Structure 1
């Protein structure tokens, strides 16, 4: 069993992005960027900070879980913390407060991370099986 903590909180917050900036936090949207953009960005954050926090609201929660599972299943990351909560937000169209689900997953650098990253940075062998001659 891993050293992961799971925390479920039911609370109402007003989202204040100015006070909520973290160097290693990725706020995931399921409409703005492709899935592997976030996977690769998370790898870079883990490389720089030894951990990454993935955060999402509502329908983007499934995207965060998928990103997390890809990073864990490929050996790049391990679970550190998972927390869920509800956030009160003003609905632009209806003009009233609505509750949205929020998830935050903190992933840490795995023991195999550096070896996997260096393996990924090596150039792929030629498809036709011939070695490329070095130019002098």
Structure 2
């Protein structure tokens, strides 16, 4: 577990297809852009669509500019594939995946690095993201945890 924590980048957001609403990822990305100057969005499998949506909204609304895009295939063993897909979407890879077949599963992967736009500071001052933490949940917010991964 320490290896994963040591390798985690503080400005990286791993987008899921079903764990959080898109607004969560938009607000988290804005906070990370404010704090670090850039944010790396990453997704596997069916979550790639959500990640692209988040990136395009940030670009279209003037919050960010695109620095780089990486695509590829991630080779996962069947048990890791289920965990990586946030809710078992990896089960669609085949019925033999959980039956001890031991075969690897190939998942599409995409990463986008976004940097603050020239207008970011003005936009952030005019429209800051809602507050984080349990108090935000009490106030009717999303209750966004400090969960960048």
Q: How high is the TM-score relative to the length of structure 2?
A: 0.67
Q: 1:105 aligns with which of 93, 108, 112?
A: 112
| 1:68 paired to 2:75 | no
Give the deviation of 1:32 after TM superposition.
Answer: 0.7
Q: Is structure 2 residue 92 aligned with structure 1 residue 85? A: no
Which residue of structure 1 lines up, in the alignment, with residue 103 of structure 2?
Answer: 96
Report the alpha carbon displacement of residue 17 of structure 1 after superposing the two structures with TM: 3.9
Task: Tell me which residue corresponds to 1:115.
Answer: 122
* 3-state DSSP of counterpart to 1:39: helix
Secondary structure at 1:96 match in 2: coil
| CA RMSD between the two structures | 1.4
Q: Deviations over 1:30-86 (max 9, x none)?
A: 111000100000000000000000000000000010000000000000000000011
1:50 corresponds to 2:37: yes
Q: Which sections of structure 2, spanning at least 5 residues, go unmatched?
A: 80-97, 129-149
Change over 3 Å in CA distance of 1:100–1:20 after alignment to 2: farther
- For these two proteins, the number of residue pairs brought into alignment is 106
Q: Report the structure, 1 or 2, having the larger helix content.
A: 2
Distance in 2 between residues matched to 1:85 and 1:17, nearest whole Å: 21
Q: Of the two, which has the highest radius of gyration?
A: 1
- Shift of residue 96 of structure 1? 2.0
